[in-house]
Structure 1
Amino acid sequence: MKPLPLLLILAVTVGPLAAHEPVTRARTPVRLPDIPGYRTLKCDFHIHTVFSDGLVWPTVRAEEAWREGLDAIAITDHIEYQPHKADVSTNHNRATDLARGRGNELEVIVIRGSEITRSMPPGHLNAIFLTNSTPLATSNWLDALRAARAQGAFIFWNHPGWEPQLKDGKVQWFPEHTQLVAEDLLHGIEIVNERAYYPEAHGWARERNLAPFGNSDIHEPIHMDYHLHAGDHRPLTLVFARERSAEAIQEALFDRRTAVYSGGKLFGEEKFVRPLVEGAVRVLNPAVTVRGKGRAYVQIHNDSEVTYRLERSGDVADVVFPRSLVLVGGRTVLLELKAQGAPEAGTRAVALPYQVTNALTAPGTPLRLELKAEVTFAP
């Protein structure tokens, strides 16, 4: 009888053991920098469980958030729609109570919320930072919103571009929304829901002083909608808070200190998007020398996980530099510089103008960014 090859023996003995290796329950941080004066908290304020039309027990939502590196979530089950009520409690507060218990163990902040689910207008709205969801179960939608606001709730408009609620196929702002703003019953708006970006809503956030939100609106287990192991993840509302607490998040939301991170893109006011980008992008060797017709390389490091895509937005005298540049997340890339013509010998400061095409400060408006270097031209 011939001896079995060693590799075959290992495959037979080690293979079954590897197949039964337990899954590691690990947290993957979202690598985005803090900005001056504030912590950048990663949040999802639109989440469903089996207590409305979701397919997940509330405690699972807290661990999903922990694994994905989130700081805070809001459980926002529908008030009016409970298809599982034959199997679970109809107590509108119960889902948050369960999720908060697990969240406390994992240091994930769990905020009580509810989705007020009505036809358009006004559509679906989330109220978060509730103390009691039960008073929202009333037939008149305006009474429901007033009951939420009486508890100090922050209220935002969900998925304004959701196709089933469009009128004449258009994303529209209605007089009812103007009324809500006037009565202090509307403070934010989803500009991203799931994977959909609504440029109209982004514009309204700027024009009407509403905090922009990006939320998952997740119903299924999170891994069924997002390829987590491939680096994919849910949209996030970035909250710029003074500290990591529910109270600080609430204060930041009412002060409109939010931005959105979704699909490898940033959306928000320039005063928040700029420090997110500039806090991550560093020129490692700003002083370089170009000799004659040779070239020099500037090394640029991107500390964040976002791969920033840059397009040149202007020219610089005496310098040839790339039209496009991709700053890969977590990597250092080379930017090639050459002399244009025959510049006078000497050292000068240059600012290379770019637009960050995946960092939008308004619909269709990319962030402008200058990469600065000190270039010495030598014969």
Structure 2
Amino acid sequence: MVNYRYLGNSGFKVSEITYGNWVTHASQVENDAAIATVHAALDAGITTFDTADTYANTAAEEVLAEALKGQRREGLEIFTKVYFPIGPKGPNDHGLSRKHIRDGIDGSLRRLKVDYVDLYQAHRYDYETPLEETMQAFADIVRQGKALYIGVSEWTAEQLREGHALAKQLGFQLVSNQPQYSMLHRVIEGKVVPASEELGISQIVWSPMAQGVLSGKYLPGQPVPEGSRATDEKSGASFIKGWLRDEVLTAVQNLKPLAEQAGLTMPQLAIAWVLQNQNVAAALVGASRPEQLKDTVKASGVKLEADLMKAIDEALSGVANTDPEDTYNVSPKTRLV
């Protein structure tokens, strides 16, 4: 079964392996298969589910609602997000303005068929809206009981500090940040993680397997496997392209004997690795088939020894991105519509 961790400086626990439906629900797989994977997640002990209104332009939230139908609401932790364009993508269907946040939470609750979400997240930082306006809107949502906790995604260390201070003034707290983090993408370690530890903010990390590259199935000098994420634009092919360099794929192959030494599969090693960071509350995983989750959840509770962690660092030396300046290049400087 899956272990639990506290989310930030709160009394709220989440499953350290959390099910995310970014590129699967209403996109990569048919609804029946998506529902089956959610049921497999529940059977494996995962009770925390992460989605966003922008996934499949709101349809992913509806699929998740269908999959969770009949489950005890108090036994689930449901997360969603707001920021990216949705619906007809009009001038106010985007960003973190008071209007879009209010419309966003109401739409998400309707689609998810719940009275509240456990965690409502700013999907990016909005440079075009005053931060005070955004945080006041989140404070109102918490007071209205529509969200129990507030988090963000891909904010810089400075943005976390400013948001945390405003939240405290308004009577609530930021408990989480959702960045990309994996053995290959470690940019949060330099500034974001230290600031978060100081502020009482946890990381909920996405792409712990580097879009599947850390599974080891992509081989240097070989065509990408048919049916893999790298061949499907709807499954995030554009995100994986940056990792499909021979020097990266060669380095990843060097992890195979290390995984075998630890008695783990490559996906288990990748997920266990991010969970060694105590500032990480949860690793987000997806699945297109139920059996994938049976392997994934075995990473929960795994302790990687110091010599193994050092060997992983050495195997990926020169190909892992550790530049903290890259945290400043994620949120768009202007809205997309």
Identify which of structures 1 and 2 has the higher relative contact order when contacts are C-alpha pairs closer than 8 Å and 6+ apart.
2
TM-score, normalised by the number of residues in structure 2: 0.38
- Structure whose residues are more often strand by fraction: 1
Q: TM-score, normalised by structure 1?
A: 0.35
Max Rg structure: 1
